[in-house]
Amino acid sequence: MDRRYFLCYSTITATLLLSGCEEHTPQEEQPKQKVASSEKKDIKRTETKPFTQELKIPEEISFSKTKKAKFSSQKSLVQIYTDKPTEVLTFRGMLPNPTIRIKRGENFDLEFTNRLPQPTIIHWHGLIVPSVMDGHPKDVIPANKTKHYHYKVDQSAGTFWYHTHPHARTGKEIYHGLSGFYIIEDDEEKRLNLPSGEFDLPLSIQDRRFDENRKLFYKDKEVPQDNNGVLGDVILVNATPFPYKNVKNRKYRLRILNSSSVRTYNLAFDGIEEFALIATDAGLLEAPLMVKNVIVSVAERIDIVIDFKDKRIGDTVTLKNLGFKEVSNLKLHPKYPDFDAKMDIMQFHISEKAEDTSSLPAKLVHIPRMKASEAVRTRTITMEMIAGGLWTLNRKPYDMYRIDERVKLGTTEIWELKNSVHMGHPFHMHGVRFQVLDRSGKIDFPTDKGWKDTVLVMPFETVRIIVKFTMPGLFLYHCHILEHEDQAMMANFFVER
Ligand code: C2O
Ligand code: CU
Ligand code: CU
């Protein structure tokens, strides 16, 4: 398809679609022009001196100590840069938002008040909880109303996250701050003696745009490519631009979350050749896998163990993005680093000696392999752009109240995810965890070996996943590129008893 034609069309349709949506603010999201005019004005970027700000570590809310927590979505001024505050959205008045830590078997209990002018809702990404607690966009709560979340956590240890999920505004809300970590622990993991406490670091990676006044800005109204995904040039880790972290010369567990809008990262280190991949989205792998780099698309998580033991005091190790051009042939905003861009993310400064009493066992947990023969049926989900340039699943723009697939509680199915476009899509399902059976493409993803809730389907690729439905009710499946899910690339499945 001619690119210019497509871009122009997609703007028109996105405009029509979005203007049909009530809570939408027209000036903010509708591009005024139909054709990209990126050459017109120069973007005034903020200046950042990399590795000068120390990594912020989120405060923790531990449900072993607290019985009940309170969140309220609100506008806040926070010091992302040290010289000027930035207006953002938070759950408790600061960024990063707190990390929720909970043990399998414990009760989660949280009162959420919406202090934003528009309706919103929190979703617990990767958690398998009753559908009324899941945070479906149809369950948004109005301004100044409160929702009480309570459920028992009953799934294996892993790195999860939470974020708001109002239809057509998820991208903008996460962009401005509304996400955080959600860590589940269990005894099985505890016995492994992996690095813990100060040696267990959550890293939430987001590329962002700031203007010269340190103000965050989202879509560029003059560039319709932004409707296909918003790329930024400043990388925040836990809301800190290109941070550094002082570390000891020993093993660390890094829990890495890609909470960006569209960017897929190909992560590697300068100064450390190999590291151990120990967990994927929904839990630990069977065994650590030594890798040199890992691809992490939007909403995916990886846990790795990195060992600084051979480093000397004063050495530095840089976490970087190698770039991953294969993920998209579609070019996005021409003024921001594209998918192939190499970018430094953060630096570790080896600053102290320490004894290491943690371990990295050769065997982690047992993952029962689900077999294709266990599946009662195969469903095909296509990822397509329909006439007018709208991103969809199975050619149907999202409707909050339509049930797209009905499945039976307790059964196992194969979902065949077919991408027929020139851009990769991270496919996510609520209310389940799944395994990857196979993929038609050439790239071997080490993350396919573990429990997943989000899987990257490469351009023109077909990925088969196998999933067992264990929670009844209505759940979502969607592309996790935030601008795609906000457009129309989302659907509902209903798990019936
Ligand atoms: Cu991060 Cu609908 O999910
Ligand atoms: Cu989710
Ligand atoms: Cu997509």
Q: What is the pLDDT of residue 41?
A: 58
Cα 128 to averaged position of ligand 2 atoms, centre (Å): 9
| Residue 89 CB–ligand 1 contact under 6 Å | no
Whole-Å CA distances, 355 to 160, 248, 254, 314: 29, 9, 18, 17
> Could you tell me which residues come within 8 angstroms of residue 73 by beta carbon, excluding any fewer than 6 positions away?
89, 90, 91, 112, 113, 114, 115, 116, 120, 122, 164, 173, 178
Q: What is the pLDDT of residue 16?
A: 31
Of the listed ligands, the closest to the CA of 431 is 2
Cα 392 to averaged position of ligand 3 atoms, centre (Å): 8
Q: Is 131 helix (H, G, I), strand (E, B) or coil?
A: helix
Whether the CB-CB separation of 423 and 329 falls below 8 Å is answered with: yes
Q: What is the pLDDT of residue 387?
A: 83
| Residue 123 CB–ligand 1 contact under 6 Å | yes
| Residue 165 CB–ligand 1 contact under 6 Å | yes
> What distance in Å separates the CA atoms of residue 165 and residue 136, rounded to the nearest whole number?
7
> What distance in Å separates the CA atoms of residue 296 and residue 339, rounded to the nearest whole number?
12
Bridge partners (DSSP) of residue 290 are: 276
Whether the CB-CB separation of 320 and 452 falls below 8 Å is answered with: no
> What distance in Å separates the CA atoms of residue 54 and residue 308, rounded to the nearest whole number?
18
Q: What is the pLDDT of residue 269?
A: 98
Pick from 123, 133, 203: nearest CA to 162: 123
Nearest CA to ligand 1 atom 1: 125
Q: Please state the pTM of the whole predicted model.
A: 0.92
| Residue 209 CB–ligand 1 contact under 6 Å | no
Nearest CA to ligand 1 atom 3: 125
Q: Which domains are assigned to the chain?
A: 3-14+196-352 (2.60.40.420), 60-189 (2.60.40.420), 372-496 (2.60.40.420)
> Phi/psi at 48 (nearest 5 deg)?
-130, 130
| Residue 167 CB–ligand 1 contact under 6 Å | no
For residue 114, give both structure tokens.
């919406």
| Residue 478 CB–ligand 1 contact under 6 Å | yes
| Residue 299 CB–ligand 1 contact under 6 Å | yes
> What distance in Å separates the CA atoms of residue 218 and residue 213, rounded to the nearest whole number?
14
| Residue 169 CB–ligand 1 contact under 6 Å | no
Of the listed ligands, the closest to the CA of 264 is 3
Task: Express each pLDDT in 125-158 by its tens digit.
Answer: 999 999 999 999 999 999 999 999 999 999 999 9
Q: What is the pLDDT of residue 24?
A: 32
> Could you tell me which residues come within 8 angstroms of residue 148 by beta carbon, excluding any fewer than 6 positions away?
109, 110, 111, 112
Whole-Å CA distances, 309 to 55, 272, 304, 306, 317: 21, 10, 15, 9, 12
Question: Which atom of ligand 1 approaches the CA of 476 most closely?
Answer: 2
| Residue 125 CB–ligand 1 contact under 6 Å | yes
Question: Which atom of ligand 1 approaches the CA of 299 most closely?
Answer: 1
Q: What is the pLDDT of residue 26?
A: 32
> What distance in Å separates the CA atoms of residue 273 and residue 493, rounded to the nearest whole number?
43
Question: Which atom of ligand 1 approaches the CA of 454 most closely?
Answer: 1
Of the listed ligands, the closest to the CA of 171 is 1
Task: Express each pLDDT in 216-275 by its tens digit.
Answer: 999 998 999 999 999 999 999 999 999 999 999 999 999 999 999 999 999 999 999 999
Question: Which atom of ligand 1 approaches the CA of 430 most closely?
Answer: 2
> Which regions in the chain score pLDDT beneath 70?
1-41
Question: Which atom of ligand 1 approaches the CA of 165 most closely?
Answer: 2
> What distance in Å separates the CA atoms of residue 327 and residue 422, rounded to the nearest whole number?
8
> What distance in Å separates the CA atoms of residue 260 and residue 337, rounded to the nearest whole number?
14
Cα 307 to averaged position of ligand 3 atoms, centre (Å): 35
Of the listed ligands, the closest to the CA of 178 is 1
Cα 485 to averaged position of ligand 1 atoms, centre (Å): 9
Pick from 43, 39, 42, 33: nearest CA to 222: 33
Of the listed ligands, the closest to the CA of 483 is 3
Which DSSP symbol is given to 215? -
